[in-house]
Structure 1
């Protein structure tokens, strides 16, 4: 099962490691896929979740969304509450039992499932095997569209300049910045502009922004300043946590610049909203 999607590395650790060798993607698009909506997307960006589903359905994939899903467990895990994170993760495992890809419109949440669940269940052999199989079929949305669906987008929007923000963990663990860039490059009337501090954290970091608000505020100030200086008309990101932080800071600064999820941007640019 797992080799169809990826030869999974069995020794995921708490510390983020470089990605293993290139994934092996299926030769054909699957007929079914799960969507893990993430708690932030579900609560604050539901339209982005619907747009992710629309993008997948347009590719002929039947999308399954178990209503009982909640958080991936990352906030508890990165805050040191390992037992609590394990129970949150355990609750998710039973919901994705079919051998279908799990598509996640968040690089950080996808990275949690793909790289860190194994650490949570390292002392439970039976559950660990289940976790490794799930990790092998877990994909961040942009990666799935690019390498599994092999989309070829046609740009139907007006010329624009955008800045792409990818969360720091999504870059390290899922290469989300590369997948996002590749999809945006298919849109001939979209100019992606580079911005200073692009690879740096926006300051959100889940509970980090609550525990260390002064540092978080300074980081997002640097990030939003760089985005404004880039000349971009809009900001696109594949991580809703970052969008919450960046958009909140921009609103507080009385700026008109705003960010939107990559799924919504792609859906609208390719005629899906017509």
Structure 2
């Protein structure tokens, strides 16, 4: 199956390993991966701050860049949600190709939970807000993690609570954002897990920064990086 990857802004600029890991997983499963170089932003940060017209222009640019794609895989619930749920709001009439968050594509389209990964560590998973609430990915990420050889999955207390990032919310309400993040970190550390796994680079950046300030040995990693491990 030929698959196009939309790597997202944050992954492209700050976490390129997330994009590479996504490609690794897809190719391991026999997909032919295409990376259109004209891709830019999904427009989410513009829409979130009230700039609907620029957001719409970016959605239209996405549609043109990925026109004819059989499937577009995105290692981000928030960017997938922006395109699939809000795309028509900011760009009425736009025709988007099928867009899938990574765990959706692996389980719903390819029909696999065991992607051949090996990762010898204990992890806990934070379900990001957009993947949980906008997309309804449910237990898909957990099913993928449970199938990883050597991985011990620990339940995260109050898992469905927001980590506090929320895009520009973290800038406009920094103290509240940090407090919410600290609560999430407290819960993650209480599990004794070695790795805190997320499925959005934005949340990974937020939580990773808080772990770093505490000088914690716990790492934050993207779901794609875990699923790519073992190669």
After TM superposition, the score normalised by the length of structure 2 is: 0.94
Instruction: Report the alpha carbon displacement of residue 90 of structure 1 after superposing the two structures with TM.
Output: 1.9
Tell me what 1:163 maps to. Answer: 124
Deviations 1:24-45 (A, max 9, x none): xxxxxxx211100000011111
Tell me what 1:184 maps to. Answer: 145
1:119 aligns with 2:84: no
1:108 aligns with 2:112: no
Q: Structure 1 CA distance, aligned partners of 2:197 and 2:87?
A: 28
1:153 aligns with 2:115: yes
Go from structure 1 to structure 2 and tell me whether the alpha carbon gap of 1:208 and 1:143 turns closer, same or farther (over 3 Å shift). Answer: same
Match of 1:73 among 35, 43, 50: 43
Q: Structure 1 CA distance, aligned partners of 2:52 and 2:36?
A: 24
Instruction: Report the alpha carbon displacement of residue 153 of structure 1 after superposing the two structures with TM.
Output: 3.5
Is the contact between residue 75 and residue 101 of structure 2 (CA under 8 Å) also seen in structure 1?
A: yes
Q: Where in structure 2 are the equivalents of 1:236-251 lying within 5 Å?
A: 236-251=197-212
Match of 1:49 among 19, 37, 40: 19
Instruction: Report the alpha carbon displacement of residue 157 of structure 1 after superposing the two structures with TM.
Output: 3.6
Query: What is the alpha-carbon root mean square deviation over aligned residues?
Result: 1.5
Go from structure 1 to structure 2 and tell me whether the alpha carbon gap of 1:185 and 1:114 turns closer, same or farther (over 3 Å shift). Answer: same
Q: Structure 1 CA distance, aligned partners of 2:169 and 2:122?
A: 31
Deviations 1:122-155 (A, max 9, x none): 3xxxxx1513xx2xx1110111111212233345
Deviations 1:55-93 (A, max 9, x none): 111122111111121111111112221112112222222
Go from structure 1 to structure 2 and tell me whether the alpha carbon gap of 1:211 and 1:32 turns closer, same or farther (over 3 Å shift). Answer: same
Instruction: Report the alpha carbon displacement of residue 189 of structure 1 after superposing the two structures with TM.
Output: 3.0
Go from structure 1 to structure 2 and tell me whether the alpha carbon gap of 1:254 and 1:58 turns closer, same or farther (over 3 Å shift). Answer: same
Tell me what 2:52 maps to. Answer: 82
After TM superposition, the score normalised by the length of structure 1 is: 0.80
Match of 1:144 among 97, 100, 105: 105
Runs of 4+ aligned residues of structure 1 deviating over 4 Å after TM superposition are none
In structure 2, stretches of 5+ residues that fail to align are none
Tell me what 1:24 maps to. Answer: none
Secondary structure of 2:152 counterpart: strand
Name the structure where strand makes up a greater proportion of residues: 2
